Chains A and B, each alone.
Chain A
Amino acid sequence: MQPLIELQDLTHAYTDAENNQVLALQKLNLQIEQGEFLAVIGANGCGKSTLAKHLNALLLPTGGKCLVNGMDTQDESHLWDIRQTVGMVFQNPDNQIVAAVVEEDVAFGLENIGVPHAEIRPRVETALKAVDMSAYALHAPHLLSGGQKQRVAIAGVVALEPRCIVMDEPTAMLDPLGRKEIMATVKKLQREKQITFVYITHYMNEAMQADRVIVMDHGQIVMQGKPAEVFSRVAELQTLHLEAPLAATVAADLRHAGLSLPRDIITNEELAAALCR
């Protein structure tokens, strides 16, 4: 199967206020498969948000190529199709909500792209159901919790029926319950609607739940693999300003003290299983 998104030597240089070049992506190569849940982690300023903005042509490459479902983002005639294929969700739920009633907010994007009226209602209902927010269709968004607001924002994107949703730190502003709700929503949409997710986060516990993790540094991918492969490399992660999940760190400390434990422990359950045998 053709990958949904393909980055070939993708390079992005910003020009700052003083006309200096800031190299944010350097010849980055990546294929994102249909239906996968890909987590992107890396230090502040390593280029994650810049990468995200290329995936629906909010930014265009200054070098290399970004292909979305085979369409080159440089080719303006594809802009519409690319934006239909890849939706975005950002960090701050309050900045993403536009209407005074939840269902109107979800319908907003559909109206914007000229979806016929008769089609709007069923699509809004389906989208709200998909994020478990049907009960709130007639509520005022500003009275919802952060996690609920963020799910409304996701519903607004889901209603557009994209193949892929890019999320840039969607849980950074949420309480622990809200973070769990978003994780559950992502997995549900991946499972039930086969939506591909590119999920940027500084929470290692979230990245751990992805199918694949890529680690970025200075505009390049420096590690990638299944969560157990990436997160068991405790010392390397630290040099990249990241951390391993608690269980992996504790396991590493215990190994260091002479205990023999399996290499790929990353969850509390796995550590408990190994220690309590």
Chain B
Amino acid sequence: MSIRLEHVDFIYMQGTPYEKQALSDVSLTINKGEFVAVIGHTGSGKSTMVQHLNGLLQPSKGKVFIEDVDLAGKAPNIKACKQKVGMVFQYPEHQIFAETVFEDIAFGPRNKGMSEAEVEQQVHEAMDFVGLDYETYAKRSPFQLSGGQMRRVAIAGVVAMKPDYLILDEPSAGLDPGAKEAIFERIMKLYQARKIAIILVTHSMEEAARYANRILVLSKSRILMDGTPREIFLHHRDELRQASLDIPQTVQLVELLRQGGLKLPEGLLTEPAVVAAIKKVRGLH
């Protein structure tokens, strides 16, 4: 159960003076049960790559398979395969279209042929998931919301479709820290309960370190690195900086503390781990 890219090239506006190669020879398999963070400088090809995972863009060269079905082939179940992949776009205003928040989120469940009662149930759940109060917001126009509220509507709409592969393209841009934390907690629960795949495009190294079990680093249209958060963030700081990225705040703090003489173990990545390690060397509980 996986999505697979084989030697994918993608070129925008091919054959014009504005031609732009956005992906070069990208090969990759993402299995169900993986939580993959995709990081890379702006323009490195992240959004272009994830739009191949649900067939929204077709490669200029190479192949894309969802659960072994070639998206460029003639199999009768191509549409069904694409529907297993849910995508929250980088710009939420690109995927919001209905007159009310309710109608916008209800679109997916309705398309799946659910009864009106079930649809309402799904919308309720999805709004709860992203922390939007049903009474306050269900009847509001999604275009008259704040940036962060609009982002939450977009996330809710995709979550309500219960995808097997959930792609989130910079979902936390514009979310307040509380919402980020709460939504990621729900996403982790969903991930663990349903063993789906999560593909998270993010500019936050902290988010990548904290939630993902695999990190893909894109640079200049190519995959530069593919490894666990530990491998990437603890051993490749110079390459990351060269690729316009950074190491997480936690890793920077640990480095300063070790330089200052505090005897912390290597390999600390998350905030709770750092706090626990400091307490230990200071004999606190």
Q: Which residue of B lies closest to A252 (CB)?
A: B275
Chain B contact-residue range equals 35 or more
Q: Does A135 have its Cβ within 8 Å of any Cβ on chain B?
A: no
Q: Are A176 and B205 in contact (CB under 8 A)?
A: yes
Chain A contact-residue range equals 35 or more
* B160-207 at interface with A (beta carbon < 8 Å): 170, 173-179, 181, 203, 205
Q: Are A49 and B244 in contact (CB under 8 A)?
A: no
Partner of B147, one of A91, A175, A246, A269: A91
A175: chain B residues within 8 A (beta carbon): 40-42, 203, 244-245
Q: Are B245 and A177 in contact (CB under 8 A)?
A: yes
Q: Are B147 and A44 in contact (CB under 8 A)?
A: yes
* B29-44 at interface with A (beta carbon < 8 Å): 40-43
Given contacts A44-B149, A176-B203, A241-B177, contact A17 B284 (CB under 8 A): no
B278: chain A residues within 8 A (beta carbon): 250, 254, 275
B149: chain A residues within 8 A (beta carbon): 44-45
A117 to B149, CA, bound (A): 44
Q: Which residue of B lies closest to A100 (CB)?
A: B18
Q: Are A49 and B147 in contact (CB under 8 A)?
A: yes
A276: chain B residues within 8 A (beta carbon): 257, 260-262
A249 to B246, CA, bound (A): 21
B173: chain A residues within 8 A (beta carbon): 91, 172-173
B235: chain A residues within 8 A (beta carbon): none
Q: How many A-B residue pairs have CB under 8 A?
A: 143
Given contacts A17-B144, A241-B179, A246-B253, contact A254 B284 (CB under 8 A): yes
Q: Does B60 have its Cβ within 8 Å of any Cβ on chain A?
A: no
Minimal beta-carbon separation of B96 from chain A (angstroms): 14
A47 to B275, CA, bound (A): 35
Q: Are B271 and A250 in contact (CB under 8 A)?
A: yes
Q: Does B236 have its Cβ within 8 Å of any Cβ on chain A?
A: no
A272 to B253, CA, bound (A): 8
Residues of B within 8 A of A (CB): 18, 40-43, 90-91, 99, 139-141, 144-149, 151-152, 170, 173-179, 181, 203, 205, 241, 244-246, 249-250, 252-253, 256-257, 259-262, 271, 274-275, 278-279, 282, 284-285
Q: What are 26 pairs between A and B in contact, CB < 8 Å?
A: A16-B144, A18-B140, A42-B176, A43-B176, A45-B146, A91-B173, A145-B244, A146-B41, A169-B174, A172-B174, A173-B42, A173-B173, A176-B205, A177-B241, A178-B42, A241-B179, A242-B176, A246-B253, A250-B274, A254-B279, A254-B284, A268-B249, A272-B259, A272-B260, A273-B260, A275-B282
